Structure 1
Amino acid sequence: MVYHSPQADVWRNLALEAHLLDRADLDRPLLLTWAGCEAVVLGRNQNPWRECDPEALSAAGVPLARRVSGGGTVYHDPGNLNYGVITDRTRYEPERVYAVAERALAGFGVRLERVEKTRLYVRGRKCSGHAFAFRRGRALHHGTLLVEADLERLERMLTPALPALETAAVPSVRAPVANLAEFAPGLDIPSLRDALERAFIELFGSGPRLRLSLNDAEEEDLTLREAQLRAPEWLYGRTPPFSADLPGGRRVRVRRGRLDDGRGDWFRPEIPEP
């Protein structure tokens, strides 16, 4: 099964991934692709203040979201293509999922190189990161592909508010990045999406792209998941405990995104002295 989400909203698409992971008919593996608006997306177990500056993102009108999978923080804009393979856990083969992108890009003369477990590079620069979620006997393996993104803005949006703090949160691995269009002039989101779909069908034997149709109960589930992903309790409350020194020398401890000082306010690095 091959689906493309026409939605641009980051929370809607993240909710759709989670919905399909939990509820899709997985007689055959499923491919979902989407390209959305500008956003910064955290991994499930990350600290937003170490990965970016939530206040600066808000001032710039850039959404900050947290997904259900692990891994590092990624920047999305309309020049970024997102894709995910969802399958029964017993049928999950990581190599075949990576091969979808590798085969698709090979058709444009681009050779991807795997670095460690989750990153794809071209000529020493990162163009794709991957993350995973496993639950209820199912697997989600998804990734981003930088096609023609604004890389200067990417760097600005991923500048942390508090780069040095004490935490067990999973850190992102910083690396030089590149757009795939740099290595394949003329490559764009639609052409790469079509190539990914062809490669997926060749590797997994699934049929052509289908229109994603949800019944009333599924739409209700999707709406509920989207609301949960938007909630501060998910975005900030999932943050592992940490300690930090604020400007002016004040040291704070934060648990579940709230100050551990008896007041329980949501943490902000600019909180003034009491």
Structure 2
Amino acid sequence: MLRLKVAYTSIEDPYLNLALDEVAVRRFLEPFLRIWMNSEAVVMGVSSSLSAEVNLSEVRREGVPLARRFSGGGTVFHDSGNLNYSIVVPRSLVGDWGPELLYGRLLTAVLKALMNLGAEPEVRNQTDVVVKGRKVSGNAGYFTSTSNLLHGTVLLSSNLDKMRRLLRIPPLNAKSTADPVKYRVGNLIDLVGRRVKMEEVRVALVSSFSELLGLRTEECELDEEVAEAKKLVSKYRDPSFIFRK
């Protein structure tokens, strides 16, 4: 019987987490969800302009790791107040999804999870989840010949002041057509009026993705995938990749 495989990883190395997402989308031929956190890091999209989106002098001054992921989207700040999710959906299950279907379908699970936590979320700019006019979740997608990946964030109690120091918000190359809510971030705990716990967010996300896909969940270990990611991680630590744009 097909199940939604679920993994909770304790890895906080931003480079290894990026490598693990790449391994997951290439290896998993069944639905897979990973819930994870990074230590402090600034993470750019594959095509992000460093000079336009990152305050590099401040990043270096504060000693925050700078990384670049393999998917698109803009630059984000991760810390211990930020929960991340990565979901892989095989094309054999859902067919040939493009970006509109990927975001349109899978983000309904994120909306449902946040609703179950007491929020009133909506999607703006196709990839942003907004509560009370504040962006609490940003998302990016990646496609292979066999699978689709959506990975994103939930800002629960992130250090927004530090985020604003490290990132250029809005970026210097901001699109004039983008809804400006993209650059107005907020923490979930400030928007729902109670101290939402990280574990509540984990449970809500797993439940909502399970319900969306109509699949029961099954926890799994990632020993082989982590071993493969460790072989790949040098790509993400390579300055020529990080500073490519």
**TM-score between the two structures when normalised by the length of structure 2:** 0.85
- Is the counterpart of residue 132 in structure 1 residue 110 in structure 2? no
Match of 1:234 among 238, 241, 245: 241
**Superposition map of 1:206-221 within 5 A:** 206-215=215-224, 218-221=225-228
- Tell me, yes or no, if the aligned pair for 2:56 and 2:166 is still in contact at 8 Å: no
Match of 1:79 among 67, 77, 81: 81
Whichever residue aligns with residue 102 of structure 1, its letter is L
Larger Rg: 1
Whichever residue aligns with residue 14 of structure 1, its letter is L
- Tell me, yes or no, if the aligned pair for 1:38 and 1:78 is still in contact at 8 Å: yes
Cα deviation, residue 209, structure 1:
4.8
Partner of 1:179: 187
Cα deviation, residue 159, structure 1:
3.3
- C-alpha separation between the residues in 2 aligned to 1:14 and 1:219? 11
- C-alpha separation between the residues in 1 aligned to 2:137 and 2:50? 21
Cα deviation, residue 31, structure 1:
1.0
- C-alpha separation between the residues in 2 aligned to 1:209 and 1:198? 12
- Residues 192-215 of structure 1 deviation map (CA, whole Å, 9 limit, x = unaligned): 011111111122233335232323
Partner of 1:119: 128
Match of 2:43 among 41, 44, 47: 41
Cα deviation, residue 56, structure 1:
2.5
- C-alpha separation between the residues in 2 aligned to 1:35 and 1:209? 20
Q: Which has the higher contact order (CA 8 A, sep 6+)?
A: 2
In structure 2, relative to structure 1, the CA distance for the partners of 1:219 and 1:79 (3 Å cut) is closer
In structure 2, relative to structure 1, the CA distance for the partners of 1:192 and 1:81 (3 Å cut) is same
- Residues 113-152 of structure 1 deviation map (CA, whole Å, 9 limit, x = unaligned): 1112111111111111111111233211111111111111
Partner of 1:200: 209
In structure 2, relative to structure 1, the CA distance for the partners of 1:225 and 1:15 (3 Å cut) is same
Partner of 1:11: 15
Aligned length: 228
- Tell me, yes or no, if the aligned pair for 1:4 and 1:209 is still in contact at 8 Å: no
Which shows bigger deviation, 93-102 or 62-71? Answer: 93-102
Higher relative helix content: 2
Q: Gaps spanning 5+ residues in structure 1: where?
A: 165-170, 240-274
In structure 2, relative to structure 1, the CA distance for the partners of 1:54 and 1:4 (3 Å cut) is same
**Superposition map of 1:51-66 within 5 A:** 51-66=53-68
Which shows bigger deviation, 184-193 or 52-61? Answer: 52-61
- Is the counterpart of residue 99 in structure 1 residue 103 in structure 2? no
In structure 2, relative to structure 1, the CA distance for the partners of 1:108 and 1:236 (3 Å cut) is same
Identity %: 32
In structure 2, relative to structure 1, the CA distance for the partners of 1:55 and 1:21 (3 Å cut) is same
The alignment yields a C-alpha RMSD, in angstroms, of 2.3
- C-alpha separation between the residues in 1 aligned to 2:162 and 2:91? 37
Cα deviation, residue 224, structure 1:
2.2
- C-alpha separation between the residues in 1 aligned to 2:226 and 2:38? 20
Runs of at least 4 residues of structure 1 off by over 4 A? none
